Structure 1
């Protein structure tokens, strides 16, 4: 049986992180710990960030691996981390929500579009940031999956 793409264990609320690299490593380590990706995927996430920022606007960053990171992906999964103090993703772009993505094949495209739907609504961004339980975040994303 395939793993859940997003489970309670993949969600961390109100985390304090010091910078972009730590934020990406933290987001990726949740995917490693969950068995979605191998350790090498985190380096690919950092490489991807070097190429172009994964900051999407609306306080959201979506760190993910490079194209050639597919070999590091074991199962499709996402991690969600809220950072109330924000992380500077460069150019004054402050991310307070980090969503790490690992997709088998082309599954990441479907996940990205679901995340985009949820996070395009300002009220949903607020709901994520104000969530006090993992369930609140699961409910928000289950509406689109």
Structure 2
């Protein structure tokens, strides 16, 4: 049985953001709109980045905004935001893709993280992700059983 990692309504393409904070806030708003987190989760993500730096960078051009389960997670899930133009945390640390993550606990989201790692570790799928023009392209990358 294949696991559905992401729903179509949790994907946004061609998003314009003036800086990293606006991009992360937008990402959090999509998690709120899709019923994955409470609004308090957004501020927790921003606060964490301001305190610890851009720890959410997981690959060149890719960020994984997230906070702790107790910061407002309703249910496990992700959203994906593809920016129109890259934004920088600092020079040399630019992002084009944000994968907002919400986990209920320390273990339940492992399958989601494995799928994210699978997609971002392959050059071809990374290019498809960064250059996606249709939501179906992202649904295919994350919801299909690849390499199985």
Tell me which interval the TM-score lies in, with the shorter structure as reference length.
0.7 to 0.9
After superposition, the C-alpha distances for 1:58-85 in whole angstroms (9 at most, x for unaligned) are 21111111x3x43511111101011131
2:98 match: 98
1:120 match: 121
2:32 match: 32
Residues 73 and 103 in structure 1, CA contact (< 8 A), matched pair in contact too: yes
How many corresponding residue pairs?
A: 140
1:70 match: 70
RMSD: 1.8
Give me the whole-angstrom Cα distance separating, in 1, the residues matched to 2:112 and 2:131: 22
TM-score of the two chains, using structure 1 as the length reference: 0.87
Q: List structure 1 segments (4+ residues) > 6 angstroms apart after TM superposition.
A: none
TM-score of the two chains, using structure 2 as the length reference: 0.86
What residue ranges of structure 2 are gaps of 5+ in the alignment?
A: none
SS in 2 for 1:14: strand
- Is the alpha carbon distance of 1:71 and 1:49 closer, same or farther for their aligned partners in structure 2, counting shifts above 3 Å? closer
SS in 2 for 1:80: strand
1:111 match: 112
SS in 1 for 2:78: strand
Residues 86 and 96 in structure 2, CA contact (< 8 A), matched pair in contact too: yes
Residues 118 and 140 in structure 1, CA contact (< 8 A), matched pair in contact too: yes
